């Protein structure tokens, strides 16, 4: 029998009604053996995520403010779920322990992790599955990074003895038992690690949308869904802002080629999106898979006569960024010019210092700052080794009267990146989307 690892996001477990949908999904397929829950998410747009409330409790304790009110709110949410599911399960006992630990100064990672921990206890009870505390199977190094080898070993030895289990997402522990969390949205990573360790046949990631769409629905009305996408394409799109899955959740399953299926808990009959190996899909030439983009980049444009023959020029330039702890997005260059494209979130408060240092160290003829750049990535395996995709993109932008300030194509030939004015961002995405649909 195949094995499916299923991860459910916060909105899929936000209340008892959502828990019921989750149970229906799990019992409908015997192959769904290992379940990774997030903490309860928002029930409506004005609601709070339990994880955020737990961080708030920790912040209150650290500043000496009473956190009773916030904690009671958390308690009501969990007790409400248990009551509405008619479970004979004493969640209050566990909540009291968490409250006590917080009062005694538990870390912020510990505080945040309890959202998944408590939800996992309830879900395991509700499904009749064994509860596996993630602190036993997600092992972190002292510097906060994951010890992949130890994690793999721990997961293997634990799960080989258990046929059906709930393993809370988002956290683990270091070798001294201190709770450590992944970055926000990290339950996706837990699911991927579990799937990889047991060599699952499929990793299902259940959320509140039916997979990926070709473009942001806030910009394009009813964009087409993506039924299949490769890991590489997804990486390119999520890097440019398309987000459904945590970026780091792709690596563990990609290595061994486990497909990921993004599914909608509220519409389980929808097929969702399959994320697969590059070699697993046939492709129609010149088609694109998706479009994503981000606003607010700055271009630092540097000119210097004979730059091309000056040894070490780029090394000096890049070491200035490194000293300022800045990563750059792109570095298009000409014979005597080079541009650094940097996200404003990276550059903030450091612009003057970076420019001064470039002037001092690289002695350029000119250095200009161009703010307000938006980047749009048009991604598709169908464009590799085919002609016409770039022409179509540029024509579409030109017809929409949009000036292209920067062009870049990755060596994989799967992504054409254009830089345009922030103000033209939405118009640019629409123009490209319409050109291919």
Q: Which residues bind ligand ASP (CB under 6 A)?
A: 10, 38-39, 49, 51, 115, 169-170, 184-188
Instruction: Judge contact between 191 and 249, C-beta under 8 A.
Output: yes
Least distance in angstroms from the C-beta of 230 to ligand ASP? 24
Quote the CA–CA distance of 113 and 107 in Å, as a whole number: 10
CA gap 89, 80 in Å, rounded? 12
Task: Tell me the backbone φ, ψ of residue 125, rounded to 5 degrees.
Answer: -65, -45
Instruction: Find the shortest distance in angstroms from Cβ 247 to ligand ASP.
Output: 12
Q: Which is nearer to ligand ASP, 67 or 171 (CB)?
A: 171
Closer by beta carbon to ligand ASP, 3 or else 48: 48
**Cα–chain center distance at 89:** 33
- Beta bridge pairs of residue 179: 173
**Could you tell me the smallest distance in angstroms from the CB atom of residue 263 to ligand ASP?**
16
The minimum distance between CB 119 and ligand ASP, in angstroms, equals: 9
User: By C-beta, is 184 or 224 nearer to ligand ASP?
Assistant: 184
Q: Is 128 left (phi over 0), alpha (psi -120 to 50) or beta?
A: left
Contact 394, 301 (CB under 8 A): no
- Of the pair 135, 295, the CB lying nearest ligand ASP is at 135
Nearest C-alpha neighbor of 414 from the set 237, 257, 224, 238:
237
Q: Are 76 and 68 in contact (CB under 8 A)?
A: no
d(CA 140, CA 174): 4
Q: Report the residue number, 49 or 294, with the smaller CB distance to ligand ASP.
A: 49
3-state helix, strand, coil in the chain (%, to 5): 45, 20, 35
Q: Considering beta carbons, is residue 191 or 211 the nearer one to ligand ASP?
A: 191
* Chain position whose Cβ is nearest to ligand ASP: 187
Minimum gap (Å) between residue 70 Cβ and ligand ASP? 16
Minimum gap (Å) between residue 281 Cβ and ligand ASP: 28
């Amino acid at each position: 029998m195949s094995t499916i690892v299923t991860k459910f996001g916060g909105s899929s477990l936000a209340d008892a009604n959502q828990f019921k949908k989750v149970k229906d999904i799990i019992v409908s397929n015997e192959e769904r053996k290992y379940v990774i829950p997030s903490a309860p998410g928002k029930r409506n747009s004005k609601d709070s995520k339990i994880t955020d409330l737990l961080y708030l409790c920790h912040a209150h304790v650290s500043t000496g403010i009473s956190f009773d009110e916030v904690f009671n709110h958390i308690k009501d949410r969990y007790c409400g779920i248990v009551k509405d599911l008619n479970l004979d399960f004493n969640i209050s006992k566990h909540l009291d322990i968490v409250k006590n630990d917080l009062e005694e100064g538990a870390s912020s990672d510990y505080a945040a992790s309890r959202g998944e921990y408590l939800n996992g206890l309830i879900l395991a009870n509700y499904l009749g599955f064994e509860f596996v505390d993630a602190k036993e199977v997600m092992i972190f190094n002292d510097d906060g990074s994951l010890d992949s080898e130890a994690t793999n070993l721990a997961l293997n030895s634990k799960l080989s003895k258990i046929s059906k289990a709930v393993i809370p997402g988002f956290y683990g522990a270091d070798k001294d038992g201190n709770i450590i969390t992944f970055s926000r949205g990290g339950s996706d990573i837990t699911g991927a690690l579990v799937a990889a360790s047991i060599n699952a046949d499929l990793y299902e990631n259940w959320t509140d949308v039916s997979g990926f769409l070709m473009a942001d629905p806030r910009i394009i009305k009813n964009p087409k869904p993506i039924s299949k996408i490769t890991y590489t394409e997804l990486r390119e799109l999520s890097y440019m802002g398309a987000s459904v899955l945590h970026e780091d959740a792709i690596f563990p399953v990609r290595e061994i080629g486990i497909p990921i299926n993004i599914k909608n808990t509220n519409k389980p009959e929808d097929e969702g999106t399959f994320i697969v190996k590059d070699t697993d899909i046939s492709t129609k030439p010149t088609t694109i898979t998706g479009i994503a983009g981000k606003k607010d980049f700055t271009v630092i444009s540097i000119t210097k006569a004979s730059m091309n023959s000056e040894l070490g020029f780029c090394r000096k330039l890049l070491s200035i960024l490194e000293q300022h702890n800045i990563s750059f997005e792109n570095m298009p260059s000409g014979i005597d010019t080079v541009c650094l494209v940097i996200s404003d979130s990276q550059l903030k408060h450091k612009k003057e210092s970076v420019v001064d240092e470039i002037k001092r160290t690289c002695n350029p003829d000119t250095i200009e700052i161009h703010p307000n750049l938006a980047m749009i990535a048009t991604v598709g395996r169908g464009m590799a080794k085919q002609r016409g995709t770039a022409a179509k993109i540029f024509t579409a932008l030109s017809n929409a009267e949009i000036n292209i300030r920067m062009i870049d194509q990755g060596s994989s030939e799967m992504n054409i990146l254009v830089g345009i004015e922030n103000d033209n961002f939405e118009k640019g995405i629409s123009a490209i989307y319409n050109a291919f649909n």
